[in-house]
Structure 1
Amino acid sequence: MTGFAITSPAIIRRFAFSAITLALLSGCSSTDHAVQPTETVTNESSVQVTLAQPPKAEQPLTLNQIMANPDWMGIFAQGAYWSDDSQAIYFSRQAHQAPTRDYYKQGIQQNTAEKLSLDQLHLADQKNAVLNLDKSKKAYIYQGNLFVKDLTTATIKQITKQNQAIDGVRFLSNGDIAYWQGNNIFRLHQSSGLIEQLASIQMANKPEQIQEPNTYLAKQQHRLINYVAMQHDNAKAKQEYTKQLAAVDPSFAAKTWYLGDSEVVSELSLSSDGQYALLALTDKNYSWRSEHDIMPNYLGKDGYVDAVPARARVAEDKFPGQRLVLLDLTNHVKKDITIEGLTGFDEDVLASVKQENAAAKGETYQSEKSPRLIQLMQDWGWSQSAIQWHPTENKLLVMIEAVDNKDRWIASVDLDKGTLVTEHRLHDDAWVNYSYNQYGWLPNSDSFYFLSEQSGYSHLYLKQLGGETRALTEGEFVVDEVTLSPEGTHFVYRANPDHPGSFNIYRTEIATGKTEQLTNWFGMLSYELSPDGKSLLLNASSSIQPNELYVQPIGGEIKQLTDYTSNAFKEYAWQAPKVVAVPSNHGAGEVYARVYLPEGFDAEAADKYPAVIFNHGAGYLQNAHYGFSVYFREFMFHNMLTQRGYVVMDMDYRGSSGYGRDWRTAIYRNMGTPEVEDLKDGVAWMAKNVNVDAGKVGTYGGSYGGFLTFMALFNEPELFQAGAALRPVTDWAHYNAPYTSNILNTPDVDPIAYERSSPIEFAQGLEKPLLIMSGVLDDNVFFQDSVRLVQRLIELEKPMFETAIYPVEPHGFKQPSSWLDEYRRIYKLFEQELKK
């Protein structure tokens, strides 16, 4: 294990935007109906919240209820993990918008949880920990300080008690503990308790050594003025004495490393014996923040407009990549890692794109080889480091990605030469997925495992250093969440072989490849394997049941642990959406979708139904599944629409996750076209199969879903009769670089892709009523996106659009009143335009 990586500009760049990719909820709202009675309650953090009275099972839904404070549905368990003895579960709960959360422990044989007091939290078996080789001890960081727990006696010892936070920790192969603060690495000797500084890394130039006078005036001064000459000789002698003393005196700490003043340390990782440190360095002048823009907060606390810093746009974000440096801490030798060992390190992978763009301008492009920018792989779905040291030997693997998004390498590092050796190259002409990148060493071997989409689907592979690759799983399904069993004989993982919208947990024996299904859940779930490897902690849901925690012994029966869903929610007569496969008329095969049917649905009725298609956010997200949707407000809103006589469809259009590489990359350089083709097929399916009037269909969605609403209304004006775009992207050149450059490259390289994928380029096609709604404090999709499009529509003299702004809202709305206002407008639009 490599412990915890320090915070880095590159990680900030990737993960700051992983949280703000378009996967944030696009929410729901409320109607024109009278506000229901409310009650004030005190949650377990002593924060008062106002809840709407829950609906009675026989009553129709109202927008006031749907968009109310969601605590009425239940305050659910979050961040659950196992206790060290595999006999209990820890988790937290936090009321909507409460400033703090409460923490709990629940035995797997108990039916209720015990709330932990604040003075117990440092003793709660911390999840993010590292183990020593025999797994008898764990080390972890709590509130910035280092703790060690003896797993045989359950005793906990606090190692540090200071205000300067520790950034990372690992056990060394001899049992000592190494930790680092900033760019300083320390070793705690278990035998003596001595704390030794292994490295002091200074991102500065090395101080100049005392030099002999070398100009006429300097030489004259030393020759004529004895005092000057004496001061020089004394300083030189002291410097030499200190150097000699440090070389022979064992009490001295290691020499300082001076790595120059032009870079910063992005990530740091220490070898298992403490001899080597691998650093990833980034240009210190790079920032993911914009040099030009701010986000104005018009409701600043002092009555003025606050200028909030904003992230850079893909059109201006020039990430310089990283370089790797290996430090031999024992011999004080630095090696700059060269990238020539990466297969294809200098290929012009964008040659065809550049040629197409050059030809469009009447120019030619001559392809030339040149070293590409690289960085450590930053996977948005796991917290594992891209640097993997062998647990017992000085062997090192790194996972590296090209900044141009076309390659991901797993490479071993020659520690003597400072070179890379390609062990596996995953190339994609579109882009390498930012998910499915788990990898690591097998214990007591020279082999490693990894996930790869090389077959078209994420699967699990094994490879010996320098050897052949062996597939452990295969088929047209997705594998993720890989865990190596404690004894190192099996892999446990999540997969969806039976249906794209239903996941279960599986186990494969490494030696034989024998696979067994461990759970039999119909819906969505994630898991954590217990420390003893005997049980699974499941966070599972069905289409009308929110996530609850379950425990299942391997080979045993599942048991529900938590029951935080309110009775009011459980007792309401929710309609479970049907998951259907919509045949594609555009070469996509089948498109999975959720369908909600009206109350009293009659396929033979003379009057055809109006319909609404919801477009999920994120683009790369799965929502047509059998689990409880992250879009819980929309789920309730869709139930309400069926009560008002609508058919509702929710499609996993091309680009969605869960369906493999080809589905994901179908939108490469052409966002908004394949997806709208899928929406067309969805409308045709509803007209043919569920008695929908194809002339009375509307659409809506937030973030990426808002973008699709624009593309549909602008480019297929007869497809929908009305649309609502929430927090929508209008011009991809203004979105962030980590997300957008994957799919569209960058605007300076591939302007064609941006111009055919950005709604603002097609605004002249608007012919049907459009509602645009944006939060002013949206730091993901800027409010300016909507402002620019509105001005474009005004200049095009388009009269059929309206706007609504929400002054205090970020990308994922927070205030129930904002949700209510937003969905009241959406519902009104559909009632006016689809029921004429």
Structure 2
Amino acid sequence: MHQLRFLGLLLAVSAPALAQTPAAPSAGLAPLTVEKIMRDQAQWLGTAPSNVYWGEDGRTIYFNWNPEKNRRDSLYQVAASSAGAPRKVSPREQRELPASSGEYDQAYTRKVYEKEGDIYLLDLKTRKVRRVTNTAERETDPAFAMRGRMVSYMRAQNLYTWDPATGETTQRTDFRKGSKPANSQPTDKSERFLRAQQLALFDVIRQKDQDRQARERQQKALARLRPKAIWIGQQAVDNLQLSPDGRYVTYTLVQEPAAEKVALVPSFVTASGFTEDISTRTKVGAPQTAYELGVYDLARDTTFVLGYRELKGLDEQPAYRKEYQLPAKAPMPADSAKAAATKASQPKPATELRRVQPFGPFWSEDGQRAFLVVRSADNKDRWIVALDPVSQKITLLDRQRDEAWINGPGIGYGAGNVGWMPDNRRIWFQSEESGYSHLYTVDVTSGQKKALTSGKFEVQKAELSRDKKTWYLTANATHPGVQHFYHLPLEGGALRQITTRDGANEATVSPDGRQLAVRYSYTNKPWELYLMDNKPGAKMQQLTHSTTPEFESYAWRDPEIITIKARDGADVYARLYRPANPTAQGPAVIFVHGAGYLQNAHKWWSQYSREYMFHNLLVDKGYTVLDIDYRGSAGYGRDVRTGIYRYMGGKDLTDHVDGAKLLAEKYGVSAQRIGIYGGSYGGFITLMAMFTQPDVFRAGAALRSVTDWAHYNHGYTDNILNEPYNDSVAYARSSPIYYANGLKGALLMCHGMVDTNVHFQDIVRLSQRLIELKKENWELAVYPVEDHGFVEPSSWTDEYKRILKLFETNLKPGSPATGGASSGGN
């Protein structure tokens, strides 16, 4: 038999234990170990309260919690008046509780909601619940219709209404798959002659034909009492709405693309003992779903599909396309990576209208007006338009364009945070027009637009109070890494800060607006639930205590928030962890958070709790740790968010290089002993750092990393790099696999084998590339039962033992100072 030898390739799930005794820890502190940090978090850290909401009576706060350290969280409740000890809600009580989500009528006297596939109506005054449906089929999307007189809902892609006064249910639409049946009457001349001849010759045939026509007349008469049959071919229907006056039904037609090749992820360790394939997704650039807005005019008994041809900028193509409009004899780019990727034929200038996706309509409370949010498929445009279903016309109210992509707090990739002002004449929405997400209004009659908030901060959440007099906002107005709850007058003005503690304050307002349930955390204090009055500076009363005595026995550090002056002059925020008595020319580790668009250099408890604790362990061992909110991170406005457009591994990477330089120049770190690590996007940056900045980073651990963006999903990648066949240069300069030859330092790669997000295939392809390049100072540790986010404590423990060993082997004094670094593996 042939033997296959993988250079540097380590297929292992266990590693020998490393000595974990801290180097001169502070007196009285419980020593940290990888085993301790990576245990089941519920067992030793505790489980924070989550999914907080108020009971409809405003007297009770509900939330998910797990103080008993069970396998799953349970629903708890606490009285808001006495603020006593929380208690678990029994299964019987849960069955009787209304759903936490739903829709209220305009006066907030009733609530309609779905629970376990059926629809219910709750009277908020009497607390009585009426069951609207009780079927085997699932009903969804309940709403109030006909100005509150009816309840509407969806069943099997059709719209129904229920009348609370009579109990009558009415089917409002009749969508049918396929094509409308052809007319039974012949159209061919010869066929018409033969039919007439048959009817003239045979009495039996003539009588049967007369009976058939009588039945058809009767069916047409009955059909007038039923909705019009709407044939939709192979499309699906979603977002069914009845206009407030009952005249129009609007709906979204969804056309899935023809069957495309889908990546399969094999699962090797299964209960069956057989390898089982998991069907995941297509790759970036595959055909995408198409959407249209249909309108059914019940008064005219007609349907139409809304058109957008007159929409301003619909034919405007992205600016990057001009780079590919080269002269016929222009030479190929000299850079080998770019040349490899631009061999595909370069696209011709496109003049076609771009595809769009409509969201809405959103009807005013008086039912007189409606608007849509329309987004281009390439996410470079968002339009807000007034809709007139009578004339089948739309009128532009606001356009936001970004040559990168539209996103941001309150904007997202859908309709975003939008609604009607109380005057039923103005629309409110959030936009990054100024560079930061702020709150705006626009008048649908005059087109006049007004900013209600402004400044170099983000409005991260906005909603109107129930009395329509005050805005409730969450914003980082005092510091990018602090979130407070604010009041704002309806027409704008000065923000009125309600919460006072630095950190993050996630406030949920009681139904009467008098109290707040606040989920609060600080840098070194995990999330807890508090109660306070909805007034500036009110006292916060703690309702939960989630952390364990063992967790509390260690003095967790409060890292300093610093700014790094990047090479282009930008201020880049970062968390800095330093030993109490740092060693001159000591080692340092830079952590790269995942997701790209995510914030971690802030003053609240990190979602990277294990990494935060690992950083404390590293500091105990004499490391300085830097955690950077690099370009592309959330919390800092549009220009930071889009700073990676068409070049991932550009400014986001140089921000880390500039951070390494600051560590050496200001904090006494040895420039020869800096490591880097991170997962997902952080793993991608680690690979780019090790491949393109080998003299800056001596060792790196890349976890669940994207190695080639052409193999990632469409929804994320297309926004940043466009399609690979249209912008091949962006993919070539952004994908680590093209730069693998630059590896000098020690590289550890870790990946779950059933990763349905960043597929295991990604790291396998890079491994083959490293083998062919004859690189030896790398290793791959694989985890057979893990998806993208690890679950098993044993996997977490193994992974971080390897990371620690990598750094201890290569960064500590006594390790080699120049080439030939060790990966630290077995």
TM value normalised by structure 1: 0.88
Q: The residue matched to 2:121 in structure 1 has which SS?
A: strand
1:508-562 CA-partner distances (Å, limit 9, x unpaired): 1023524211111201232222222222222111001111112221213222222
Is 2:538 the partner of 1:559? no
1:200-258 CA-partner distances (Å, limit 9, x unpaired): 222332233432574155555444444333333322221112213444xxxx3x32332
Q: The residue matched to 2:139 in structure 1 has which SS?
A: coil
Q: Is the 2:435–2:639 contact (alpha carbons within 8 Å) kept by the matching residues of 1?
A: yes
- Hey, what does 1:390 align to over in structure 2? 364
Match of 2:119 among 134, 146, 156: 146
Distance 2:267 2:801 in 1: 25
Is 2:425 the partner of 1:446? yes
Give, in angstroms, the shift of residue 366 of structure 1: 6.0
Give, in angstroms, the shift of residue 620 of structure 1: 0.6
Further displaced range: 751-760 or 357-366: 357-366
Distance 1:611 1:314 in 2: 36
Distance 2:313 2:755 in 1: 39
Distance 1:186 1:57 in 2: 67
Distance 1:245 1:631, change over 3 A: closer
* Equivalent position amino acid for 1:589 in 2: A
- Hey, what does 2:482 align to over in structure 1? 502
- Hey, what does 2:742 align to over in structure 1? 765
Distance 1:376 1:369 in 2: 21
- Hey, what does 2:283 align to over in structure 1? 313
Is 2:223 the partner of 1:255? no
Q: Is the 2:408–2:437 contact (alpha carbons within 8 Å) kept by the matching residues of 1?
A: no
Match of 1:163 among 136, 140, 145: 136
Match of 1:65 among 25, 29, 36: 36
- Hey, what does 2:509 align to over in structure 1? 529
Any unmatched runs of 5+ in structure 2? 1-12, 334-344, 412-416, 816-826
Match of 2:450 among 470, 481, 484: 470
Give, in angstroms, the shift of residue 489 of structure 1: 1.2
Q: The residue matched to 2:280 in structure 1 has which SS?
A: strand
Between the two proteins, what is the percent identity of the paired residues?
A: 36
Match of 1:85 among 57, 60, 81: 57
Distance 1:263 1:342 in 2: 24
Give, in angstroms, the shift of residue 87 of structure 1: 2.1
* Equivalent position amino acid for 2:233 in 1: D
Is 2:251 the partner of 1:279? yes
Further displaced range: 694-703 or 230-239: 230-239
- Hey, what does 2:351 align to over in structure 1? 369
Q: Is the 1:264–1:283 contact (alpha carbons within 8 Å) kept by the matching residues of 2?
A: yes
Q: Is the 1:31–1:820 contact (alpha carbons within 8 Å) kept by the matching residues of 2?
A: no
Distance 2:811 2:623 in 1: 9
- Hey, what does 2:5 align to over in structure 1? none
* Equivalent position amino acid for 2:51 in 1: G
Distance 1:368 1:720, change over 3 A: closer
Distance 1:762 1:369 in 2: 35
1:406-427 CA-partner distances (Å, limit 9, x unpaired): 1011111111122222111110
Distance 1:579 1:184 in 2: 53
1:629-778 → structure 2 map (5 Å cutoff): 629-778=606-755
* Equivalent position amino acid for 1:714 in 2: F
Distance 1:272 1:725, change over 3 A: same
Q: Is the 1:596–1:648 contact (alpha carbons within 8 Å) kept by the matching residues of 2?
A: yes
Give, in angstroms, the shift of residue 161 of structure 1: 2.0
1:153-232 → structure 2 map (5 Å cutoff): 153-172=126-145, 173-212=147-186, 214=188, 215=191, 218-232=195-209
Q: The residue matched to 2:405 in structure 1 has which SS?
A: coil
Q: Is the 2:487–2:496 contact (alpha carbons within 8 Å) kept by the matching residues of 1?
A: yes
- Hey, what does 2:789 align to over in structure 1? 812
Q: Is the 1:29–1:821 contact (alpha carbons within 8 Å) kept by the matching residues of 2?
A: yes
Q: Is the 1:29–1:823 contact (alpha carbons within 8 Å) kept by the matching residues of 2?
A: no
The count of aligned residue pairs is 770
Q: Is the 2:429–2:439 contact (alpha carbons within 8 Å) kept by the matching residues of 1?
A: yes
Give, in angstroms, the shift of residue 806 of structure 1: 0.5
- Hey, what does 1:338 align to over in structure 2? 307
Give, in angstroms, the shift of residue 199 of structure 1: 1.6
Q: The residue matched to 2:526 in structure 1 has which SS?
A: strand
Further displaced range: 151-160 or 208-217: 208-217
Further displaced range: 217-226 or 432-441: 217-226
Q: Is the 2:379–2:405 contact (alpha carbons within 8 Å) kept by the matching residues of 1?
A: yes
Is 2:273 the partner of 1:296? no
1:357-391 CA-partner distances (Å, limit 9, x unpaired): 786759887645321111136xxxxxxxx542222
Distance 2:239 2:326 in 1: 36
Distance 2:57 2:138 in 1: 28
Give, in angstroms, the shift of residue 59 of structure 1: 2.1
- Hey, what does 1:9 align to over in structure 2? none
Root mean square deviation, CA, Å:
2.5
Distance 1:97 1:777 in 2: 27
Match of 2:588 among 611, 620, 633: 611
Match of 1:568 among 550, 553, 568: 550
- Hey, what does 2:820 align to over in structure 1? none
Distance 1:756 1:96 in 2: 50
Match of 1:589 among 563, 570, 591: 570
Distance 1:208 1:240 in 2: 17
Q: Is the 1:29–1:819 contact (alpha carbons within 8 Å) kept by the matching residues of 2?
A: no
- Hey, what does 1:539 align to over in structure 2? 519
Distance 1:768 1:423 in 2: 55
- Hey, what does 1:22 align to over in structure 2? none
Distance 1:245 1:684, change over 3 A: closer
Further displaced range: 217-226 or 527-536: 217-226
1:119-142 CA-partner distances (Å, limit 9, x unpaired): 222433432111112211111111
TM value normalised by structure 2: 0.89
Distance 1:114 1:330, change over 3 A: farther
Distance 1:812 1:30, change over 3 A: farther
Q: Is the 1:62–1:640 contact (alpha carbons within 8 Å) kept by the matching residues of 2?
A: yes
Q: Is the 1:277–1:328 contact (alpha carbons within 8 Å) kept by the matching residues of 2?
A: yes
- Hey, what does 1:383 align to over in structure 2? none
Distance 1:419 1:539, change over 3 A: same
1:746-803 CA-partner distances (Å, limit 9, x unpaired): 1011111001100001111111111111101100000000000000111111111100
